[in-house]
A and B are shown apart, each in its own frame.
Chain A
Amino acid sequence: MLAVSLLLATIAVPGSVAAPPLPSLVKPSERLPLVLVTASWCQWCKVLEHETLPKPIVQAVLRKSYDFMVADAETSPAWMDIQGLQGLPGLVIFNRKGRHLLTLSGYRGPELLSGLLHDIALRIDAGDVREYKLRSAYPPMSTAALDAKGRRMQLQRWERGLYIAINSNNGGFGSPARRPEPELLLEMLGWSQAGGAPDRVLDGVKRTVQSAMAGGSPRLAGEPLAGFKYSAAKLIKMAKAGPEGSFWKQGIDHLPTYDPYLGIRDPVDGGFFRYAAGPGWYHPHFERRAEDNLIWILLLRALGYSEEAQRVETFVTKTFGQGGLLAAVQASNPFYYRLTAKERSGLSTPSVDSVRLMRTQAWAAKVWPKRCQALLRVSADKWPRHLWTATAEDIRSPAAAPDAVGVLLEALAECAEPEAKARAKDLAGFITQRWTDGLLPLGFDRDRLHRLAAGICRARPSDCGRALHAVRDLAISSKYAPALVAAAQTQVGSHTQPAVDGSIRIRPRTLKLLKYPCGECHERGETAQGLWAGGHDLALAHTGLEDQCSLCHLMDNKEQLTLRGQGEISFNRSHDLCGACHSKRKRDWQMNAHGKQTGGWKQGTIRLTCVECHDPHTPGPLYFKPEPPLVRPPLAMPRSSNRD
């Protein structure tokens, strides 16, 4: 399954450049034209042609949906230039009108190839090919910085890719979910709730969850399946007997070899499997990870399926609860349940993946925020310290993957215990600082950094800008990106909405800080002199305030201001600082007798703060270049406005 998703990722997408004029090979047809691009020197082309393609499983798909043709790249070199062809052998797929849709490069085995071709034909039949056309309509983006347009377009492209992934893998087109990624679904749901996600994201999540809940094996659901010997009741009996039971072997012997749509919900014991049974899987197998099921609980709760969520909770506590959370963690070892009972009994301690341990604990803390402390205090052999008391140094250890830390930060931030929030804030602050200093061992793939940035945004909103800045150049392509987008949406969204001070709505200034966070250059706790050396083009001539940066700026966090008596205040509230001395002006400003406004008199005025016009460092009179005067009419008196 992993291989399939990797392959899906390598599907090249046609760009806006038109394919070279193709040989008359491709004609409009009932079936989809599929051209194998081959060459005499290409070894894998020969393997594909002579060994893979003749296989019945591949032939079945080809006969059903495709018009198969072969093109020799040596005699017609135009084929080598076709969009998306990275190497031979190449499989180029057209739509029925002969328009180039996509290109698969490289060799694939018969099972993968047939599955892939089947999937593509299915999607094209269902009209999902629109996605591919849309993609080519967008020009490639050169920068992925936080500028609104670039980020938006990048998101759009990424979201479309995700949508395709969901459909192909997680149960689209009426089929039960085969391999839903509960974390991805949860994050997409969060993104949708934060706002900004297209409607179809929520639709896709709902559909997948519904199909996962409804989908079981047709046999388990009591539907007849041609060629299968046992009834549903019998199969349930076999499943309950487990691998040791005598029915078990019998049941396996009678399973058909290929049935990809068996669903992931366990109607017997509760909980969700990680995968639906497919080729190479015994059915039913019992790989129900604690981590997955914990996420399913959150997902079901968020979508309002409380009954099903309760069932999964019961399953998790029943199955993993007796031996404490550590047992759950052990059960989360992906290999644990694939072993035979004999092999399993030989293992004194199942190997525990520390990252998974951390994640499982963190997700458990998210599911039961009231038992946060107890859940995070569980320890394991490879993770000697409790997550509850984890220090900054622990977080730096290589055992802590950034994504796991991200989830932990979120869990801590959501804990019922008040000290957990403070802990999360401290940790997030430390990580951000180390991160921007380049001191964190963060040589991981970008997916995980997205997750970490999202965690920081949740745990310490004032550092969100720096975290977003740190991942700004990472292409959005990962499954963790929805979490980041949801966090960013909340953060950036809050910086585009007017800030509120009592009944006054203020045009926010903090959006600028998101783009260029002060902390990017300035150390935390940097002194006034260091701040001064930052190279800003400003002079300080505000009477009596020279060399007193810390009077207004918070030295520990340059993204915030400080007001005596009130502590940390946002840059959106700078008028409070000015008003501390210029109180009369502030009173005028508050009733809008002074200052610029936008918006509308009816739908609400949006006010500009003092610093939009007045330079707080060098206040002084404002000068403008006026618009040209009216041309004096030829017959007008020298001072036409003067009539007396």
Chain B
Amino acid sequence: MTEGKDGGLASSRRGFLAGAAAALTATSCADDLFRRHYKHLSEVDKKELFARLSAQASERAGTPIRIGDPPAQDGVAFAFCMDLSACKGTRRCVSACAKENNCGQDPAVQYIKVLELDAGVLQATAGDAYYDADKVPREGKIYMPVQCNHCENPPCVQACPTEATWREKDGIVVIDYDWCIGCRYCMAACPYEARRFNFTEPQVPAEDVNPVQGYLSNRQRPKGVVEKCHMCLHRTREGLYPACLEACPTGARKFGNLADPTSDVAQIVRTKSVFVLKEELGTHPRIFYYFG
């Protein structure tokens, strides 16, 4: 009896293990399931992870895709300055951003909102993000681009139950899309409506996929995760400008290293009358608005 019981136990354990193994092989992401938090991964682990993700992404997209993650550098504090008198509401930044970052197209996900405000009423909450015009700027209107403010004291990070979002040492607030469980607490916590949720599998036509991808930035997201502006960290950490700045035809966007007193953003913050959104919340945003 004991023998039979032992035998039954052994066989059932074997069966369980075999079933578990089969399930893991079927999903082919055992490593993804059992890996540690991104911040605790060693360089070797990261290398393996990127290789695996690149292979998966390449297979899905049908083109070679290389996923990497340029590390944050010391002595760098990224910041945006927005010249509101130069912004003409062309939305070039919005489309360039979506294209650069492989954002879903149907339904469209966009990180940047350009708000149309009545001149003289500088209240972002009263702005219209859906203005449609043949010609901008429209009479009596001013325009204000709004996106993730990369707060020094980010409420979203505190809200996240899984530590899927955190602030890097160069000031960029990032999301690990593999760690996000899609609870959307961060979206509720963000006072700037900067975060977007993928209600469906993001649809990006194969020819539109940007093959230069970063793990924490623009790699293609699955359904059910939160995403947002990451200051194009796969570009900016290599010394380039973010895609929105490159696309802006009027030069309303300024980007640079706030920690470097000779940089243009530092000079603007020093010499111009800059303001931030919802200063009273104590979030200390890294996007500074001014009228040039």
Contact = CB atoms under 8 A, between A and B. Distances in A.
Interface of A: 588, 591-603, 605, 608, 613, 621-633, 639-644
B88 A631 contact: no
Contact of B134 (A588, A622, A625, A627): A625
Contacts of B239: 600-603
Closest 3 CB pairs of A and B: A602-B239, A596-B251, A592-B264
A627 B90 CA distance: 6
B136 A623 contact: yes
Interface string B87-113: 011111011000000000001101001
A624 B249 contact: yes
B254 A593 contact: yes
Given A593-B264, A596-B251, A630 B136 contact: no
B69 interface: no
Given A591-B264, A591-B267, A593-B272, A626 B133 contact: yes
A625 B89 CA distance: 9
B132 A630 contact: no
A593 B246 CA distance: 16
Contacts of A643: 125, 193
Nearest to B89: A626
Interface in B71-99: 81, 83, 86, 88-92, 94-95
B115 interface: yes
A629 B256 contact: no
Query: Which of the listed residues A588, A626, A629 has the most CB atoms from chain B within 10 Å of its own CB?
Result: A626
B241 interface: yes
Nearest to B290: A593
Query: Which of the listed residues A593, A594, A603, A605 has the most CB atoms from chain B within 10 Å of its own CB?
Result: A593
Nearest to B85: A594
Contacts of B83: 593-594
Contact of B130 (A596, A597, A621, A630): A630
A639 B272 contact: no
B90 A631 contact: no
A53 to B, nearest CB: 58
A631 B292 contact: no
A631 B135 contact: no
Nearest to B271: A591
Given A592-B254, A629-B131, 5 more contacts: A593-B254, A593-B267, A630-B113, A630-B129, A632-B130
B107 A633 contact: yes
Nearest to A621: B137
Interface string B117-138: 0000000011111111111110
Contact of B113 (A588, A608, A641): A641
A628 B134 CA distance: 9
A615 to B, nearest CB: 15
Contacts of B251: 594-597, 608, 613
A589 to B, nearest CB: 9
A599 B241 contact: yes
Contacts of A593: 81, 83, 254, 264, 267-268, 271-272, 290, 292
B292 A588 contact: yes
A626 to B, nearest CB: 5
Given A596-B249, A622-B88, A622-B250, A591 B268 contact: yes
B257 interface: yes
B236 interface: yes
A601 B292 contact: no
Nearest to A636: B130
B255 interface: yes
Given A593-B272, A600-B241, A627-B94, A641 B257 contact: no
A617 to B, nearest CB: 20
B132 A629 contact: yes
Given A597-B251, A600-B240, A601-B257, A629 B264 contact: no
B88 A624 contact: yes
18 contacts: A588-B292, A593-B271, A596-B248, A596-B251, A598-B241, A600-B239, A601-B256, A624-B135, A624-B136, A625-B136, A626-B132, A627-B90, A627-B91, A629-B129, A641-B115, A641-B193, A643-B125, A643-B193
Contacts of A639: 128, 130
A603 to B, nearest CB: 5
Interface in B242-267: 245-246, 248-251, 254-257, 263-264, 267
Nearest to A604: B239
A624 B91 CA distance: 10
B241 A601 contact: yes
Contacts of A642: 125-127
Interface string B196-211: 0000000000000000
Interface string B127-156: 111111111110000000000000000000
A601 B236 contact: yes
A634 to B, nearest CB: 9
Nearest to B110: A630
Nearest to A598: B246
A258 to B, nearest CB: 60
A592 B241 CA distance: 14
A319 B238 CA distance: 62
A333 B241 CA distance: 63
Query: Which of the listed residues A602, A633, A639 has the most CB atoms from chain B within 10 Å of its own CB?
Result: A602
A321 B197 CA distance: 88
B86 A631 contact: no
Nearest to A503: B262
